[in-house]
Structures are given as C-alpha cells and as structure tokens.
Chain A
Amino acid sequence: MKDTQILELYWARKEQAITETQQAYGAYCYSVAWHILFDREDSDECVNDTWLRAWNAIPPKRPGKLSLFLGTITRNLALDRWKKRHTVKRGGGEMTIALDELAECVPASVNTEDAVEAAELERLLNVFLHTLSRRDCDIFLRRYWYVEEYGEIADRFGMNLNTVKTSLFRTRAKLKGYLEKEGITL
C-alpha cells in the first residue's frame, strides 16, 4: 500500500492504518530501534510506541515521507529508552561503540553550561553533512543515524570494510575540526 493510501486510512481514523503501517514499515522501524537498543523486547515496545505516536499525530499532521517520520519517532524513542537504561547500567551493542566513536568528535573544551542549543547543533550538523561527499555522507548517516555495523554498511554499499572505516574515521576528524572551527562546546 502506498504512503498516501496509508495516510488516508489515518485520516479516516481506520485502525487498519496501523496494520498497514506495521506491514510496510514494521521491519524498518524495528531495525532502527534494534540497532540502538540491541534488545528485542525494548525494540518491540519502541515500535509499538511509534504506532501510537503516529496514530495520535495523524491527523492533523500529514508527513511528507511516512518512512522518515516513523523512523525519526522510533529513533527518538529508542534514544530515550537507551538513556534511561544507560543510567542503570552500561548498555551493550553497537550504540555504545558508536557513541564512543562520536566522542572523538567532541571538541576539546567541554562545558555543559555554555553548551550550544540543540537546534543550533542540529543546524550545524546539517550544514556539515552537506559539505560531505555523497558517499561519505551516506556512510556517516548509516553509521550514526541508523547505528549500523561497519560490516553491514560495507555490505550495503558493496564496499571494502576498510574503506568504510577510513571514510568514517576521516569524517569524524572533519566533524571535530568543523565543530572546533565553529566554536562549539557540547
């Protein structure tokens, strides 16, 4: 079923909308949650919460790209859940490794009191992403948005594992340089 048809079901308040969404994007949303949480139960809950959020938001919302709308909800829910879990114990899985890698991009001066606003950080990150080559940008997003493993990314793009690693290493270094140049404290 096409996105527009699914959205029409939401607007008509037909519960079939959720079934269709689950059918079309269930695996995708689960994959987004799984890569962050590395836990089946938590991922399932995140995905179910995503349907609820979507059900409550549409109407009046009419997302342009349903997949990204749902994916972003799932990602935010998964990050929230990860944070809660992380306060209790250090979580496993790819998320921890990805975070450790991203910590390399953090500029030297860390001062949470003068931390840049989230919206400003989002804007700067978008500007930075647009400066990257298409390939580097895609790899970076697959790694840090979808939290995919190196091997998975290499497989997806038909690349050598080392090429992926090198690309990410260089992009992280560029990001660090960019944030420092912009005078960002995180």
Chain B
Amino acid sequence: MKESREDQDQSREDQEQKERAALRLMEALSGADEELLERARGEAEKTGRMRAGKPLWQYGRAWAAVLCFLVVGAVSWGGLRLMTMRMGGSDNNSGNAYDAGQQSQTPEKGPELSEGEAGADAGENGAAPQEAPCGFEGFDQEKKREEDGYQGDGQDAEGQRGNDQDEGSQSGNIQNGAGQSGNSQSGTGKLENDQQEVSRGPEAAEDAIGELETAGCPAAPERQKLTEAQARESELGGYVPKVLPAGYVFEEASRKIGEEDSQTPSDLRLIWCRGMDSITLHITRDETQEISVVDVNAPETYDQRLYEIPLGESVPREYWESVSNPVFAAEDLSLEVIESRMVSGAGDSGDTDTPRGNFAVLYSDGVLVEFSGRGTAEEIWNMFEGLE
C-alpha cells in the first residue's frame, strides 16, 4: 500500500516536472524570431487560406534566375551572330558595299543596345532576388547560401546593366574578334560560378557576398558573427568586459563587415544573457562623429529617478535625448552615476524585477561603449570598472 502511494506521488511529481518543462518551452517560444512569427502570421492571413502547393510567385527567384540566363544567352548569341556575320563578310567577301557599311555600324551600336535592354530586363528580373536578402537575418546557413546564390544571379544581371566597363570590354572583344564564345563563357560562366558557390560551402558563399557588396548591393549581410574569444581579440576587444554580473552567459557577438576598411567606423556588438535578463554592449570608434557628453553635475539631464514613468510626459523635451541615451565621459563614470540609470520602476519592471537601464561611456581614445541591459548598479559598475 505504502509503496503504491509512493509510486503515485513519484509519478505525479514527474508529471508536474514535465508540465513545468513544457511551460518553459512555451515561454521560450516567446523569443521566436520575428521574421518567423511574421511569416506564420502573414502567410495565414494574406489570403485567409493557403493552397497546399506552392503559389507561382514563390518561384519568382527561380524565374528571375532563368530569365537572367536567357538574357545573357540572348546577348551572347546576338553578339556571336554579329561576329559571325562580320567575319563571314570579310572572310567570304560575299557582301556588297551596302552590307559592308551596315556591318561596320552594327557591331558598334548593336551590342550596346541589346545589352542595355538586356540589362534593363535583367535588372527588373533581378529586383526580386535582390530584395530577398535585404531584410533577412537568421535563416539557417543552408537557406542563406541558397538566398545568396539567387542574389548572385540577380546581381550579375545588375552588374551587366550598370557596369559600362564590362559592356565596353564585351563590345571591344566583339570588335576585336577576340572570340565571342569566350565572352559568352565569361557571361554564363559567372552565373554558373555563382551557382557553384552555393554548393561549395560557406567560405565560397562569403566570397560571393563580398563580390556582391563591391558591386553595390545594399542587401548583403552587414555583420559578421564572432565568438566571444574572437570579439576579445578584435580591434575593440580591449573594451569587452572581463567581469560580468554573476550568471550572465555569452549569447552572441558581431562586428560590421568591412571593419578593416579605414572608411568604415570600428564597431563591435555583444550580448550576454541571464534567463530573461540581458546585457548588450555596442562598442564603436567613429572619429568622424562628434559626441557630446552630459554634465554629471546636471542630474536633470540624465538621472532617470527624477522622472516618473511614462518618461515621455515627465521629462522636459529638451532633455529627451540625453535622458533617453546619455553619454558620460569615462572619467565621470561612478557608481552614483550608474545608480541614476539602473532603475526598476513599479509596474514597469518587464519580464524580471532586475533593475534595467542604458547609457554610454565615451573613452579618451574616442571609443564609445553603449550599454543596455539589466543588473544591479553595483554589478554594472564592477563591469565597467574592470574595463579601465
């Protein structure tokens, strides 16, 4: 009897534990990627009903790629025909004066016109593939590579439209008789290369992204993900805190691609999490930007405790910016200053009761460390103290 009751208790306890675990899963789903949620919501509500099969427009990218091939093929074929006609005319000496005159004009204008049209067409067709990567983040690698591959197709088309040098060299090749087939190889070969990039792995895909960026696509991924160790070794790694509030674990780090370029401001972003709490640091060095720091002797410009929630109503308009995002000079930073920024307002505590806040610190070498997250003032102070 006693054993069976113990068994019952045990199984009830197991059941409760499983329920708690299921609830944790349910809660963790709140953090599902926005794009997935938006898609799940949008897909269902767009038409009210979705057909089981894929609608035609979903094949838009594939169609765009096919059209690009067709356009490039048509341009190459047209050029080849012109070359053949021209060479045939001179080799065979079969043309009359009128033909010869026509031929001498056509190669100069013909390819340009057809390529211009081709470029315009391809540009239109390429628009869809280019749009796709602009907003996406967080697709898995495989999908990303797939997207990048498509983007490559679209970009090639765009590149042909916009790059006069390419056009010049192509028509130059035609005029020089350097081999039209060679040209068509380079044209379609580039597309094929892009497709191969898709299957060759992430490095190749990154190369492809690099190529696309140089071609001026604004949609290429802007940030490169880093491990914590890589972040610490990076140019701004000295500003990655060594001491973090207890319980925080590294979540992610990234930097702007193209940081090595002196034109691009240095930039590093890191996130640590502790349950529902998180700390985000955005470390930048942008010598072109003038940053004004708040006067720590004027607490009304930054001390959130002086104002009631909603801040939009209690903070004077002239202090909105500084109260929302104050920047302190590194030498002015103190526990008192941080206390003024780490608040836990009644009724506005959010997911946890841990004080939360945001501010930025400007260091003497021009590095700006923007903090946003949760922790006690002491914890955050210790974190920043460790930086100096």
Q: Which residue of A lies closest to B144 (CB)?
A: A130
CB-CB under 8 A for A102 and B22, given A59-B311, A76-B351 = yes
* Structural contact, B22 and A100, CB atoms closer than 8 A: yes
Stretch at the interface among B29-37, B110-118, B226-234, B331-339: B29-37
CB contacts under 8 Å to B, within A37-86, are 52-53, 55-60, 64-65, 67-68, 71-72, 75-76, 79, 83
- Which chain B positions have C-beta within 8 A of A79? 23, 26-27, 30
- In the assembled complex, the Cα of A134 lies from the Cα of B324 at a distance in Å of 39
The interface centre, meaning the residue of B21, B36, B312, B347 with most chain A CB atoms within 10 A of its CB, is B21
Stretch at the interface among B171-179, B213-221, B271-279: B271-279
* Structural contact, B311 and A60, CB atoms closer than 8 A: yes
In the complex, B6 has a CB within 8 A of chain A: no
* Structural contact, A120 and B25, CB atoms closer than 8 A: no
Q: Which residue of A lies closest to B352 (CB)?
A: A118
Q: Which residue of B lies closest to A137 (CB)?
A: B36
What's the nearest-Cβ distance from chain A to residue B244, in Å?
13
* Structural contact, B44 and A142, CB atoms closer than 8 A: yes
Q: Which of these, A55, A76, A120, A138, contacts B310 with CB under 8 Å?
A: A55
CB contacts under 8 Å to B, within A110-157, are 110, 112, 115, 117-123, 125-127, 129-131, 134, 137-138, 141-142, 144-146, 155-157
> 1/0 contact trace for B22-58 toward A, CB 8 Å?
1111111111111011111101110011111000000
- In the assembled complex, the Cα of A64 lies from the Cα of B37 at a distance in Å of 13
- Which chain B positions have C-beta within 8 A of A58? 312
What's the nearest-Cβ distance from chain B to residue A180, in Å?
13
CB-CB under 8 A for A144 and B29, given A68-B34, A99-B19, A138-B40 = yes
* Structural contact, B18 and A110, CB atoms closer than 8 A: yes
In the complex, B87 has a CB within 8 A of chain A: no
Q: Which residue of A lies closest to B17 (CB)?
A: A110
- Which chain A positions have C-beta within 8 A of B14? 110
* Structural contact, B26 and A141, CB atoms closer than 8 A: no
In the complex, B3 has a CB within 8 A of chain A: no
- In the assembled complex, the Cα of A156 lies from the Cα of B49 at a distance in Å of 5
- Which chain A positions have C-beta within 8 A of B324? 59-60
* Structural contact, B52 and A119, CB atoms closer than 8 A: no
In the complex, B313 has a CB within 8 A of chain A: yes
- Which chain A positions have C-beta within 8 A of B32? 122, 125-126, 129, 141, 145
Stretch at the interface among B135-143, B193-201, B378-386: B135-143
What's the nearest-Cβ distance from chain A to residue B81, in Å?
43
How would you classify the secondary structure of chain B's contact residues: helix, strand, loop or mixed? Answer: helix
In the complex, A24 has a CB within 8 A of chain B: no
* Structural contact, B30 and A121, CB atoms closer than 8 A: no
Taking residues whose C-beta sits less than 8 angstroms from the other chain, chain A's interface range is 35 or more
Q: Which residue of B lies closest to A142 (CB)?
A: B40
> 1/0 contact trace for B254-282 toward A, CB 8 Å?
00000000000000000001111010000
CB-CB under 8 A for A129 and B36, given A112-B20, A120-B273, A156-B50 = yes
In the complex, B251 has a CB within 8 A of chain A: yes
What's the nearest-Cβ distance from chain B to residue A32, in Å?
10
* Structural contact, A56 and B309, CB atoms closer than 8 A: yes
- In the assembled complex, the Cα of A101 lies from the Cα of B21 at a distance in Å of 12
- In the assembled complex, the Cα of A55 lies from the Cα of B310 at a distance in Å of 7
- In the assembled complex, the Cα of A117 lies from the Cα of B276 at a distance in Å of 9
* Structural contact, A141 and B24, CB atoms closer than 8 A: no
- In the assembled complex, the Cα of A106 lies from the Cα of B38 at a distance in Å of 26
* Structural contact, A126 and B40, CB atoms closer than 8 A: no
- In the assembled complex, the Cα of A10 lies from the Cα of B348 at a distance in Å of 17
* Structural contact, B22 and A99, CB atoms closer than 8 A: yes
* Structural contact, A159 and B52, CB atoms closer than 8 A: yes
The interface centre, meaning the residue of A53, A102, A127 with most chain B CB atoms within 10 A of its CB, is A102
Q: Which of these, A11, A125, A138, contacts B28 with CB under 8 Å?
A: A125
- In the assembled complex, the Cα of A123 lies from the Cα of B310 at a distance in Å of 32
CB-CB under 8 A for A121 and B22, given A60-B311, A75-B30, A129-B32 = no
CB-CB under 8 A for A103 and B21, given A56-B310, A118-B276, A131-B140 = yes
Q: Provide a sorted-by-A list of 9 A–B residue pairs whose CB atoms are within 8 angstroms.
A: A58-B312, A59-B312, A67-B41, A75-B30, A106-B21, A112-B17, A138-B39, A142-B44, A145-B29
By a beta-carbon cutoff of 8 Å, the part of chain B in contact with chain A is: 14, 17-34, 36-41, 43-45, 48-52, 138-140, 143, 249, 251, 273-276, 278, 309-313, 320, 324-325, 347-348, 351
